[in-house]
């Protein structure tokens, strides 16, 4: 009985204690919730005072803005904190983890920063957590995995980093998981989806996630939306993802996914409405399984490697609204049956290698808003049925081979962007009058066609027009006046036949940023108020403008490019122009500008300056030598006088310096850019001195003193000169006598021809042939000497290479060139006819090449032009010569300095390799040779030759490959655009194959007489294919590792095949 009584007492005491605790619980909980809210309030600045006027001590916290408390059971417990869109501007308080009854936390778009507190994971009742659109940083807390009843987690658009915690697989109730637009990295945890079977929405887009897509995602039974776009995911798409019966939307674009998509009975996506797999590396045909998705509305496979043509089953998908298959290698024609998809609003087949005509049936797509067919091989005319697309907003049929005129009327009122450039369209531009009804037209791009006629004046009333490009046509008449309400930004009308004056209305266009009216026939003056605009580029070159450069041009503070060359401009350059700090390119060449150049200090950004062929005078400003960015400076053909400032030697980035044909005198500066300067840069300044290697005499440093010493010099000097003259006459008489006796100690001759077919030639024969090596006979100069044109006694015209004996390596160069070619017999090698050599003089008599060097034809497009077939023939000639030297000559000859200036052209434009001054011979079984004494030319040297001096056949192949790329792109490897990691090779490599037109030299299409306008389709397709093969061959020649490069035999064979295709 005592024991029972004891237990009864203990039980009643326990009940009493529990009752006391329950009675006091709300008070404790109330204090915790209030303190948590106050801690949260203390962490935010509340810049707009939203909380400051509401969260006060006078009001119960359950009535505060955004705070919700529980019902009758727990009336004072906070169950929701929702302040979406309120600018709180602060960080999250860890004390929020003490609101243990919280079920909803929504602080989205609140300008919050800092980490997510671990304490958030201590909220056992939390159902919805939305912290999206803030600036939260740090890692995702692993404690979020404790939220086992959480249904919504939205952390979109923050700055969260680190990996996705594996603990998230504990979110058993999660239905909506949004982690997009952060900086999350690492792999998607493969076990993350083992316990999250309730997921309906999953988005991890636009992070930095790597690795493969977990196949377990495909087994989530309720998933409807899957978004993994914009990461770095790789590998194939798991087959399970194409067998999800509930999936409605699939977005996997902009990753590195590869492989093909399953196309078998396991393909089952019956609810699919939208699929976007753009910008991956997916291959194979477009799976027919998508044809069973009868609810499909958006079908986007843009920029992959799909093949096999446009799927015919697309025409049987009635719900389709968007079809984007551009950027694949589909090939084939556009099916006419696509006209059945009358609900389409977007149709994109850009860069798809399509051919044939644009089907007129596409005109049935009356709901179409965007049609993109650019960069294909489409031919024929523009279908007139396009006029039925009354809702079309963007029409892009550019970069094809469309012909004929633009049908009228064709454009609907909704048109905002029209791209018809880079076709073969012709006819009058009167169709532009139909655009007057397109009040929303922003972009009008119609360049590089064959349009004629005058632009209708109504085009000037399109106030919404921002970009107007019509360059490279044959448009005539005046440039239209534009309304002063115009929003025009870019206006490019160069390379047409516009006449009349520049419309003054352009000075009233406040938003105008770029004008290019170059290469027309404009007359009159540059508008005086041109400085009222906001231009950063102004091109008026190659017109017939006269008068001064307006002073107002000095007000164009944003101006970066100014091209006024080859007009008839006069007077001095406005002083304010020299103060434009943002000028990058300045071209005033070919005018009649006068005055002197001031000391210029503000043009710090200038990289290109051409003031040649004007009437400038005075001294050269020394401040030009302080321009650290200048790469091109041409001051030739003016009347500058005085000495060349020593500061010019400091222009280390300079690749081109031309001071020729001025009145400069005195010492040529030493070092720097003058170490490698050529005669072409200085000729025509007869009073210069100090550079004997180019024919400029040594400077006289000792000047006569005044007074008695001057008189003494006269007394001594005059008799001395008379005596010297008499002695000189006697010596000449004796030399003549000695010459008639053929004194062998004064000269030595030899012939390289083994059969002694060419007669020996003397020094005096060469003197007569060149009029005593007169500069009028000078063809060029290099590091080892000069080359003169000579006319021998037998009227044979030759090239005479005279070596500079002051150069310590001249004799070596002479011997190398003789040895390299002494037994060489090939039509594509410049022949050495004979030589003249003694201790003080060495010369090679070479075959004369009347058409000069290849680089002259490439660089001076105003004088020369080369078509596609000519360039192929030249490069084939060069390849044949190198293949002979590498593989057929009895000794392997390495040229070591292959470049366009060493490829010479005879009267029939047959190319010959020349200048073997630094050539090397491989002996026996050798495959390479080391040499650091005679490096090649920067830009053309193979990497291993430039860094280690190791020369081989493959280093010549590299140089040939660079030359091949230069010939067909028109860009030298040292062009100013190639900086940092971007080289000529990398530029071409990035462009191929989809952007071929961006890198091919425009001169090829302009001057190639093999392209017939009568058969535009076949010729264009064949030429484009051949050009792609030529550039690809250049890439094969210039691979980094020598062993990966092709041989010259391979190059020759491939060029032969390309030539045969072009001739077919």
Binding residues for ATP: 801
Q: Binding-site residues, please?
A: 801
Q: Return the number of other C-beta atoms located less than 10 Å from residue 642's C-beta.
A: 13
Q: How far apart are CA 135 and CA 622, in angstroms?
A: 52
Return the structure tokens found at 746. 């004064």
Q: State the Cα–Cα distance between residues 802 and 806, nearest whole angstrom.
A: 12
Residues 494-519 as b or e (16 or more Cβ within 10 Å = b): bbbebbeebbebbbbbeebbbbbbbb
**926 part of the active site:** no
Q: How far apart are the first and last CA of the chain?
A: 121
Tokens 């004088």 correspond to 863
Question: What is the DSSP code string of 334-391?
Answer: --GGGGG-TT-SEEE-TTS--EEEPPGGGGG-TT--EEE--SSEEESPPPGGGGG-TT
Structure tokens at 1049: 């035999």
Cα distance between residue 829 and residue 958, in whole Å: 19
Q: Indicate the DSSP class of residue 1013.
A: G
Q: Could you tell me which of 351, 358, 425, 430 has the C-alpha nearest to residue 389?
A: 358
Q: Which helix (H) or strand (E) holds 536?
A: none
The pair phi, psi for residue 502, each rounded to 5°, is: -70, 125
842 contacts 943 by C-beta, under 8 angstroms: no
Question: Is the distance from CB of 417 to CB of 439 less than 8 angstroms?
Answer: no
Nearest to 968 by CA among 1051, 830, 836, 872: 872
CA dist., res. 639 & res. 661, Å (int): 8
Distance (Å, rounded) from C-alpha 1038 to C-alpha 944?
A: 12
Q: CA torsion, points 992, 997, 1002, 1003, in degrees to nearest 10?
A: 60
In sequence order, the β-bridge partners of residue 610 are 587, 634
The active-site residue out of 587, 897, 915, 1001 is 897
Contact 471, 445 (CB under 8 A): no
Q: What is the DSSP letter of 475?
A: -
Question: Phi/psi of residue 157, each to 5°?
Answer: 60, 60
| Residue burial 542-562, b: 16+ Cβ < 10 Å; e: rest | bbebeeebbebbbbbeebbbb
For 522-531, which contacts have Cβ atoms below 8 Å and span 24 or more sequence positions? 522/479, 522/498, 523/499, 524/500, 525/501, 525/550, 526/502, 526/550, 526/553, 526/564, 526/569, 527/502, 528/552, 529/504, 530/506, 530/556, 531/555, 531/556
- Determine the Cα–Cα distance for residues 99 and 34; give it in Å rounded to an integer: 9
Strand 950-952 to strand 928-930: parallel, antiparallel, or no bridges (unpaired)?
A: antiparallel
The token pair at 880 is 């044949």
Residue that has been written with the tokens 């009145």 in this structure: 663
CA distance 883 to 1050: 9
- Contact criterion met (CB below 8 Å) for 233 and 207: no
Residue 195, C-beta contacts closer than 8 angstroms, at least 6 positions apart = 169, 170, 171, 172
Residue 311 contacts residue 335 (beta carbons within 8 Å): no
C-alpha distances (whole Å) from 218 to each of 62, 773, 826 are 44, 84, 67
Bridge partners (DSSP) listed for residue 183 = 161
Active-site residues: which are they?
897
């Amino acid at each position: 009985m005592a024991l029972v009584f004891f237990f009864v007492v203990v039980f009643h005491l326990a009940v009493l204690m529990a009752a006391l605790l329950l009675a006091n619980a709300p008070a404790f909980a109330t204090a915790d919730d209030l303190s948590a809210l106050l801690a949260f309030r203390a962490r935010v600045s509340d810049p707009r005072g939203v909380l400051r006027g509401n969260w006060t001590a006078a009001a119960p916290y359950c009535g505060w803005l955004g705070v919700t408390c529980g019902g009758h059971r727990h009336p004072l417990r906070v169950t929701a904190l929702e302040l979406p869109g309120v600018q709180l501007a602060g960080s999250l308080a860890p004390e929020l983890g003490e609101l243990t009854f919280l079920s909803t936390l929504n602080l989205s778009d609140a300008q919050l920063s800092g980490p997510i507190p671990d304490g958030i994971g201590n909220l056992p009742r939390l159902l919805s957590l939305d912290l999206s659109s803030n600036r939260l940083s740090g890692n995702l807390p692993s404690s979020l995995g404790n939220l086992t009843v959480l249904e919504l987690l939205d952390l979109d658009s923050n700055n969260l980093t680190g990996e996705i915690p594996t603990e998230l697989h504990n979110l058993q109730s999660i239905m909506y998981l949004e982690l997009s637009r952060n900086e999350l990295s690492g792999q998607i945890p493969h076990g993350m989806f083992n316990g999250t079977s309730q997921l309906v929405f999953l988005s991890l887009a636009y992070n930095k996630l790597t690795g493969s897509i977990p196949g377990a995602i495909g087994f989530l039974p309720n998933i409807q939306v899957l978004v993994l776009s914009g990461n770095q995911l790789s590998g194939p798409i798991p087959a399970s993802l194409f067998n999800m019966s509930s999936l409605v939307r699939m977005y996997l674009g902009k990753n590195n996914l590869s492989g093909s998509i399953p196309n078998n009975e396991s393909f089952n996506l019956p609810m699919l409405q939208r699929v976007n797999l753009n910008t991956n590396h997916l291959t194979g045909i477009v799976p027919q399984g998508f044809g069973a998705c009868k609810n499909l509305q958006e079908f986007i496979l843009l920029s992959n490697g799909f093949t096999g043509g446009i799927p015919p089953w697309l025409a049987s998908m009635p719900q389709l609204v968007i079809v984007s298959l551009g950027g694949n290698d589909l090939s084939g024609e556009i099916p006419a049956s696509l006209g059945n998809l009358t609900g389409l609003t977007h149709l994109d087949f850009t860069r798809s290698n399509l051919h044939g005509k644009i089907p007129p049936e596409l005109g049935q797509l009356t709901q179409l808003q965007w049609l993109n067919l650019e960069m294909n091989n489409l031919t024929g005319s523009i279908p007139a049925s396009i006029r039925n697309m009354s809702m079309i907003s963007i029409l892009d049929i550019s970069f094809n081979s469309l012909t004929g005129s633009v049908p009228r009327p064709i454009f609907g009122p909704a048109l905002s962007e029209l791209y018809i450039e880079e076709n073969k369209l012709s006819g009058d531009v009167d169709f532009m009058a139909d655009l007057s009804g397109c009040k929303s037209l922003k972009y009008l791009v119609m360049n590089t066609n064959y349009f004629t006629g005058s632009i209708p004046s109504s085009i000037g009333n399109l106030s919404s027009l921002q970009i107007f490009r019509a360059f490279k046509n044959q448009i005539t008449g005046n440039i239209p006046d534009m309304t002063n309400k115009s929003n025009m930004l870019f206006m490019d009308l160069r390379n047409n036949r516009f006449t009349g004056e520049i419309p003054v209305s352009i000075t009233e266009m406040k938003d105008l940023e770029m004008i290019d009216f170059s290469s027309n026939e404009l007359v009159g003056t540059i508008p005086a108020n041109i400085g009222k605009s906001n231009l950063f580029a102004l091109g008026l070159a190659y017109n017939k403008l006269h008068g001064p450069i307006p002073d107002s041009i000095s007000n164009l503070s944003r101006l970066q490019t100014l091209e006024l060359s080859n007009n008839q401009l006069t007077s001095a350059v406005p002083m304010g122009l020299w103060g434009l700090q943002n000028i990058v390119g300045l071209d005033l060449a070919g005018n009649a500008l006068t005055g002197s150049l001031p000391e210029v200090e503000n043009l710090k950004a200038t990289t290109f300056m051409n003031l040649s062929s004007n009437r400038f005078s005075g001294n050269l400003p020394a401040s030009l030598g302080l321009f650290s960015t200048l790469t091109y400076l041409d001051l030739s053909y003016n009347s500058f006088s005085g000495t060349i400032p020593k500061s010019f030697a400091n222009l280390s980035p300079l690749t081109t310096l031309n001071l020729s044909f001025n009145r400069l005198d005195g010492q040529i500066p030493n070092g720097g850019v003058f170490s490698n300067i050529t005669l072409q840069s200085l000729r025509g300044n007869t009073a210069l001195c100090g550079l004997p290697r180019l024919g400029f005499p040594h400077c006289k440093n000792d000047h006569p003193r005044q007074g008695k010493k001057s008189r003494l010099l006269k007394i001594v000097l005059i008799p001395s000169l008379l005596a010297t003259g008499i002695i000189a006459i006697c010596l000449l008489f004796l030399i003549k006598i000695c010459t008639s006796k053929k004194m062998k100690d004064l000269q030595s001759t030899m012939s390289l021809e083994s059969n002694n077919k060419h007669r020996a030639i003397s020094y005096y024969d060469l003197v007569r042939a060149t009029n005593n090596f007169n500069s009028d006979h000078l063809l060029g100069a290099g590091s080892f000497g000069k080359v003169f044109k000579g006319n021998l006694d037998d009227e044979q015209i030759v090239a005479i290479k005279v070596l500079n004996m002051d150069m310590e390596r001249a004799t070596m160069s002479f011997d190398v060139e003789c040895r390299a070619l002494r037994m060489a017999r090939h039509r594509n090698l410049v022949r050495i006819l004979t030589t003249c050599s003694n201790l003080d003089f060495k010369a090679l008599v070479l075959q004369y090449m009347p058409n000069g060097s290849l680089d002259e034809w490439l660089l001076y497009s105003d004088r020369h032009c080369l078509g596609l077939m000519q360039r192929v023939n030249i490069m084939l000639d060069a390849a044949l010569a190198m293949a002979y030297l590498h593989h057929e000559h009895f000794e392997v000859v390495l040229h070591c300095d292959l470049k366009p200036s060493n490829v010479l052209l005879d009267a029939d434009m047959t190319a010959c390799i020349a200048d073997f001054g630094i050539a090397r011979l491989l002996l026996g079984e050798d495959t390479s040779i080391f040499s650091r004494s005679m490096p090649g030319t920067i830009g053309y040297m193979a990497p291993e030759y430039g860094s280690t001096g190791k020369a081989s056949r493959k280093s010549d192949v590299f140089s040939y490959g660079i030359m091949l790329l230069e010939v067909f792109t028109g860009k030298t490897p040292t062009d100013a655009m190639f900086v940092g990691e971007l080289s000529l090779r990398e530029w071409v490599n990035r462009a191929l194959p989809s952007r071929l037109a961006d890198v091919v030299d425009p001169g090829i299409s302009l001057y190639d007489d093999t392209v017939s306008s009568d058969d535009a389709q076949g010729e264009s397709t064949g030429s484009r294919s051949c050009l792609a093969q030529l550039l690809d061959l250049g890439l094969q020649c210039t691979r980094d590792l020598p062993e990966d490069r092709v041989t010259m035999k391979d190059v020759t064979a491939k060029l032969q095949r390309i030539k045969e295709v072009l001739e077919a």
